[in-house]
Structure 1
Amino acid sequence: MSSSRAPAAVREIWLIRHGETAWSLSGQHTGRTDIALTDNGREQARALAPVLAGQHFDVVLSSPMSRATETCRLAGLGDRMTITADLHEWDYGIYEGRTTADIQKTDPAWSVWQSPIPQGEDLARIERRAGSVVEALLALHGRVALFSHAHFLRALGGYWASGAAALGEHLYLETASVSVLGFDHEARAIRRWNSISRSR
């Protein structure tokens, strides 16, 4: 488990979840499927532009999935975007495209946070990936904008704050939301969570 204390070379990490897709609207697990934003999702992404324009970002990172990269572009940061493979969503394996309610018809106790994910990533693998991303972020300087996906960002926020990705189970995220990771003195802290643009 990683220490949650570190020098603040990086001042803030802004976590931006991509805009709405048809599957985020229906609750279907969307990992490796490269599904596009809906019209509403594109409007949500555009509504981020004035929020992000008020900040100077030293680094802009995005998942390679089109729903994340399009959100980044529509939010006004596409010209500075660096694609980072480790920011892709949780790989849901055999559960890709299915809702939790559907899965629980045959496995009532199933949870993405606590159950095995055949042919995909379980929590232990996600925690290792989140830990690797945190170490890379700590080597950066200034303010970072990071465009990614709900479950991975929740795991990343949990790991940042506590050294345990499992905390993400309790950190809900809306589409096109903004959260900010930073520090309280030298302790890693969640400074803001699940903020939604007032123009939406």
Structure 2
Amino acid sequence: MPLTEEGRRQAEALGPELKRWKFALVLTSPLQRAAETCRLAGYGAHAKPRPELVEWDYGRYEGMTSKQITQIRPGWSLWRDGGPGGEKAADVGRRVDRVITEVRAAEGDVLIFAHGHVLRVLAARWLGEPPETGRHYLLQTAALCVLGYEHADPVIRRWNQPATA
């Protein structure tokens, strides 16, 4: 599914904000919306697609809204239950752990373009928390987040900030 006009505007606004950094590595989900965001922000030529960054697989619930799912399965939570035939939080956690290993091995800053749920899991795993902790990290589209270190401790430096351009 392509970006909306607003999504394209948000992606383009990321470019000037991101130019403040020098990135040793740029990673992107190979899925259309993340890859298009990466391209519109000016990093498409430098990005390495990583299948580990694709969005959470909802299985048989793919394409349904949370409201539609809870109508057929009251009390359902993606973070607790996953999707039938799809992924559970632990599955997504294992995927992003591989990305985190690559990021920590990079010599310099790393830029990642991916999808909301997977980025929320990535933030949780960066901090050493269980994947389900990502449910507490609200994340809007085209938001800037910066993960890093305070001394040797993984930290969140910025979270869910819109581009200022």
Q: TM-score, normalising length from structure 1? A: 0.80
**CA distance in structure 2 between the partners assigned to 1:97 and 1:125 by the alignment:** 19
**Bigger share in helix:** 2
Pairing of 1:1-200 with structure 2 (within 5 A) = 35-199=1-165
**CA distance in structure 1 between the partners assigned to 2:124 and 2:92 by the alignment:** 11
The answer to which of 127-136 and 79-88 deviates more is: 127-136
Bigger RCO (CA 8 Å, 6+ sep): 1
**CA distance in structure 2 between the partners assigned to 1:145 and 1:82 by the alignment:** 10
- Where 2:97 maps in the other structure, the secondary structure is helix
Output the aligned Cα RMSD.
1.1
Contact 1:87 1:152 in 2 (8 A): yes
**CA distance in structure 2 between the partners assigned to 1:62 and 1:50 by the alignment:** 18
Runs of 4+ in 1 over 6 A off after TM superposition: none
Which ranges of structure 2 fall in alignment gaps of 5 or more residues? Answer: none
Question: Any idea what the Cα deviations from partners look like across 1:107-158, whole Å, max 9, x if unmatched?
Answer: 1210110014211101121121122221222111100000000000000001
Q: TM-score, normalising length from structure 2? A: 0.96
Shift of 1:45: 0.5
The answer to which of 131-140 and 88-97 deviates more is: 131-140
- Where 1:114 maps in the other structure, the secondary structure is helix
Identity between Structure 1 and Structure 2 (%): 43
Contact 2:17 2:164 in 1 (8 A): no
